[in-house]
Amino acid sequence: MATIADLMTPEPVTVRPDDSVQHAARLMDELNVGALPVCDGDQLLGIVTDRDITVRAIAAGLHPAITAVDLVMSDRVRSCTLWQSPDEVLQQMAAVQIRRLPVLDDDARLVGIVALGDLAARHPSSAVEDTLRRISTPAQPDRALLVPA
């Protein structure tokens, strides 16, 4: 039976909490990804997405070259473990309406990332369709708007 270890992208590129939003955006562009884990060493602190940058920084008028990632990242990050089944992870994604999860080892160190696309491509099932439908349902904002001083 497959586990997330079989389907994840190992050793994802990360950013530090004090890196600039502009640096994170450039990395996303170079890597053609929509999210980067935010880490202190191999300890996961959060995740920053292209949407976080757009909505929490740019729309709020924050300057990307001087705004730190930790001001716009999602710090209530959900994660999964190497040993979880794809169906468990799909249920987790659907429950909280997210498309990607950092993958942690037994010592809570970041070792990978798994996206809904990875699961759809490598673990086809009706659970993928249900997860996508549940993720796509409109949700409430998860954080107050930051306004520059």
pLDDT digits (tens, 9 = 90+) for 58-94: 999 999 999 999 999 999 999 999 999 998 998 999 8
Residue ranges and CATH numbers for the domains of the chain are 4-134 (3.10.580.10)
Measure the N-to-C terminal CA separation of the chain; round to a whole number of Å: 53
Q: Residue 132: its pLDDT value, please? A: 57
Quick one: average pLDDT of 51-62? 94
Alpha-carbon distance of 4 to 90, in angstroms, equals 11
Helix residue ranges, H only, the chain: 4-7, 21-31, 50-52, 86-96, 116-122, 126-135
* Beta bridge partners of residue 101, listed in sequence order: 114
